[in-house]
């Protein structure tokens, strides 16, 4: 397969930088320079521009030229973040963030710098978690406990929850950040047991408590098995999606207008991803970028 011939517009000084699922990815010094410059000009990204430049130089963030086949392939995978002429994803095997950019686009214009920065920073949370997970978890501990406490309290209509409940849940799901979503599919029964054993009041439970827990299990099962199918049928899981979104508002005071939440149920790094979109200058986010 000749990837170079499929470029929308042929750049000069191309260099092959990596291969993903059989697709060769190409970059250039000029693309990297423009990418870093966009961060420095971005109000959302300039606070971490120095850290991002280091990640680019260390080849942890890979800005690449977008080809037609690549766009179709990675879109069909339905993972990562997308904005117009930019597609970004965290490649779990190589533990790198790949940024695919259409060479004919105007993505480096001032109006789009924030979108490019936001997309990249989102995927960087998975990168940082993948390469420095103990430090990531320690930095995010309080933030995660607040988020999951708010979610389960409201979603399950509980008046109160045990002070260790959220931490116990985080301890269980943290393994799936490193193993990937496929790993949780075989542990759905354990997933429900962890919820029931931790988020149950001594008082009378709501009538639909069991059905709500089952809905969480089905959400995880379907989304981890086939993410594109889940996203197509997301309206069937609106109760869960609404609950996860409400937890962002309750926890951080901002609405999540960036994602359809569901990965939060089995990925603690996804909470950081959304937080970096909502509050890119949050002190916790800035601390996370210093971990690599």
pLDDT at 110 over 60: no
Q: Sorting pLDDT into bands at 50, 70 and 90, what band is 71? A: low
Cβ atoms of 88 and 120 within 8 Å: the answer is yes
Q: What is the pLDDT of residue 102?
A: 74
- Give ∠ CA 126-26-41 in degrees, rounded to 5: 60
Residue ranges of E strands in the chain: 15-20, 23-27, 61-65, 81-83, 86-91, 96-101
The token duo for 196 is: 């029931």
Higher pLDDT, 49 or 6: 49
Q: Is the pTM of this model over 0.85?
A: yes
Q: What is the pLDDT of residue 162?
A: 92
């Amino acid at each position: 397969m000749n990837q170079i011939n499929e470029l929308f517009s042929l750049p000069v000084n191309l260099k092959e930088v990596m291969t993903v699922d059989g697709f060769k990815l190409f970059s250039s010094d000029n693309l990297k320079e423009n990418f870093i410059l966009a961060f420095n000009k971005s109000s959302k990204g300039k606070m971490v521009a120095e850290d991002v430049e280091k990640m680019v130089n260390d080849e942890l963030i890979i800005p690449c030229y977008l080809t037609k086949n690549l766009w179709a392939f990675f879109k069909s995978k339905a993972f990562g973040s997308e904005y117009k002429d930019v597609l970004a994803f965290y490649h779990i095997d190589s533990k790198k963030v790949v940024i695919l950019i259409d060479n004919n686009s105007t993505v480096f214009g001032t109006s789009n710098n924030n979108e490019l920065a936001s997309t990249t920073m989102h995927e960087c949370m998975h990168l940082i978690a993948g390469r420095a997970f103990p430090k990531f978890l320690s930095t995010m501990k309080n933030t995660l406990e607040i988020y999951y406490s708010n979610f389960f309290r409201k979603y399950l209509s509980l008046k109160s929850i045990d002070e260790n409940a959220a931490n116990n849940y985080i301890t269980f799901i943290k393994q799936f950040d490193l193993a990937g979503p496929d790993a949780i599919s075989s542990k759905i029964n354990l997933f429900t047991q962890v919820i029931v054993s931790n988020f149950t009041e001594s008082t009378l439970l709501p009538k639909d408590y069991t059905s709500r827990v089952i809905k969480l299990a089905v959400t995880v099962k379907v989304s981890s098995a086939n993410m594109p199918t889940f996203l197509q049928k997301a309206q069937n899981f609106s109760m869960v999606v609404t609950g996860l979104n409400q937890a962002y508002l309750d926890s951080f005071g901002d609405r999540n207008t960036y994602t359809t939440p569901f990965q939060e149920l089995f990925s603690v790094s996804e909470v950081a991803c959304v937080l970096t979109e909502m509050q890119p200058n949050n002190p916790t986010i800035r601390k996370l970028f210093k971990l690599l």
